[in-house]
Structure 1
Amino acid sequence: MNSAARDHTRGELHLHPAAVSLSGEEAQADREVILQASPDGRTVVLIEVEQRFSDHHATGPEQKVRHEIPVAELIQLIRAHGARL
């Protein structure tokens, strides 16, 4: 069973919350991945949020990257590349 956190009020699924060490740097980053439906329900939005921390700054810049795909294309991708259960 998936242990990812769900927010039923906003239709969000939080995936892969983890601390990431950045190679060759003293900094560390917290990364979170959120999967949510668009307000109109036609697309799925994947949001990657990264917050950097270092010895010099308690919190660093937050970066958000958004990826959007139509639901029909996502279903095709899962059928083509996913494992049948």
Structure 2
Amino acid sequence: MQRTQTPLLARLARLNPTTVFLATLVLVLVALFAPGAVGGLVLLALAALLVWLMSVTWPVQRPATRMVRLLLLTLLIAVALAKLL
């Protein structure tokens, strides 16, 4: 483990990417089908987690990858706010 890496990040790096993707997909689908504010709050919580993860991995990402991640995060936040309103 690198000196700047936290134990949480080391643990996240060991997770199976397919499992993480499927779990996130299920969470997003549940949030989209949940009624009103509940779904919006779940999506905002997911967005907050993604903002944290993006801030940690930002220095090692290519500019094109950064742009795609920012666009998807913006879309997720927009959907969450639309569900809240």
User: What range is the shorter-chain TM-score in?
Assistant: under 0.3
Is the strand fraction higher in 1 or 2? 1
Report the TM-score, using the length of structure 1 for normalisation: 0.19
Report the TM-score, using the length of structure 2 for normalisation: 0.19
Is the helix fraction higher in 1 or 2? 2
